[in-house]
Structure 1
Amino acid sequence: MPTPAQPPVPSAGQTAKRALREQVLAARRLRSAADSEAAEAAIADHVLAWDVVRRASTVACYVSVHREPGTRRLLDALLAGGTRVLLPVLRPDLDLDWALHDGDLAEARRGLLEPTGPRLGVDAVGGADVVLTPGLAASLAGDRLGYGAGCYDRALARVGADVPIGIVLHDDEVGLVVPTEPHDRRVTHLVTPSGISPSAGRR
């Protein structure tokens, strides 16, 4: 009788990432609605004043959900200002497709909200002038902790080396020790309610 296959043993890096994710998610659940609203307003103000965003014709962003630092106000302002906004669409293989944001959103898998327009393909993110990503934590060097599916690591591999990539976080989620693996992609900027700063390490 064949022996059942054993699940792979998590690496030390994977185990450390899981522990840090749980820590950050627990802290996010304790944030008040007032704190979340203030963070969303401050982040929108900083991003809209960022010179690379002011010059951009296309910005790749995402729709915040749950206790993520809010992006709704930012998205509304970008649309109102005539900026072309790309939003991600999660594919069954956990890669990211992209679609233009026209203001309409639909509920999708995993509690996400996604654009309803035509899909532009996984390579569309490569045409963005600025990319803003979700995440849970980042080191000062730009090491990014995502949610564990690798969606953005694949997407960021399609972004040019000269394109600014900012991770949107709460202030206390920046400057942490983030475990890394070979496939992880660094960000170039750290975006928080306190402002936008370049990461110490570049891609």
Structure 2
Amino acid sequence: MGTVRGVEATAAQKLALRDQLVTARGRRSLLEVSRSARSLAEHLLDTPEVRRAATVAAYVSIGTEPGTGPLLDALTASGRRVILPVVLPDLDLEWAVYDGPGALARARRGLLEPTGERLGLDAVATADVVLTPGLAVDRTGMRLGQGGGCYDRALGRVPVGTFTCTLLYDGELLDVVPSAPHDRPVTAVATPPA
């Protein structure tokens, strides 16, 4: 009985924190989102892990998420293989190669997904760098996502030691993020440089 209450309390804490963070992101202007996207791209392209990477698993940002457009373009222009997620009906993630913005299609939940050949669930394990969306990360690496568990499952397939990084805004690196046993940590966060 105590375990059920603990799970319910954690779920309620996550929901409240998500609402707070989504509201804060909703206040960001499109100009700020665009500037942050360019800064994030420059910052990440300068990290040793990304500079050494042959394959990067990333995602297409939507709305006021920290932007990934400039980063995706720069990664492909530099010859790196970029794979992007395709959300399956059970909310697991399959992966496909990114062939540029013209090879993206509208999908469920307002997402843009690659239209190329599907590489399967385990393709994420081939990436040298895995970049994830998220609303917050705490000082131990626990990540708070949107609540579907997509990336927790995907991160479970990533070999230990792989550079896993969540893109955030300033103020979204927290002391503690509520977590459950199925939640997977990341090894780093990236925020737009000041």
**Normalised TM-score (structure 2):** 0.94
Q: Does 1:82 align with 2:79?
A: yes
Q: Secondary structure at the match of 1:120?
A: strand
Q: Secondary structure at the match of 1:114?
A: strand
Aligned residues between the structures: 188
User: Who is 2:96 aligned against?
Assistant: 99
Contact preservation (8 Å) 2:30, 2:64: no
User: Who is 2:54 aligned against?
Assistant: 57
C-alpha deviation, 1:176, in angstroms: 4.3
Deviation track 1:118-174 (CA, whole Å, cap 9, x = no partner) reads 100000000000000000011111110011010000000000001010000001111
- 1:47 aligned to 36, 44, 47, which one? 44
Contact preservation (8 Å) 1:89, 1:115: yes
Unaligned runs of 5+ in 2: none
Between the aligned partners of 1:181 and 1:149, the Cα distance in structure 2 is 13
Q: Percent identity?
A: 55
CA RMSD of aligned residues (A): 1.3
Deviation track 1:64-111 (CA, whole Å, cap 9, x = no partner) reads 001100000000000111100010000011100000000111100000
Poorly superposed stretches of 4+, deviation over 4 Å:
none
**Normalised TM-score (structure 1):** 0.90
- 2:15 aligned to 15, 18, 25, which one? 18
Contact preservation (8 Å) 2:94, 2:118: yes
Matches within 5 A, 1:30-179: 30-103=27-100, 104-179=103-178
C-alpha deviation, 1:38, in angstroms: 1.5
Amino acid at match of 1:127: T
Higher-Rg member (1/2): 1
Contact preservation (8 Å) 2:138, 2:173: yes
Unaligned runs of 5+ in 1: 1-7, 196-203
Q: Secondary structure at the match of 1:76?
A: helix
The structure carrying a bigger helix percent of its residues is: 2
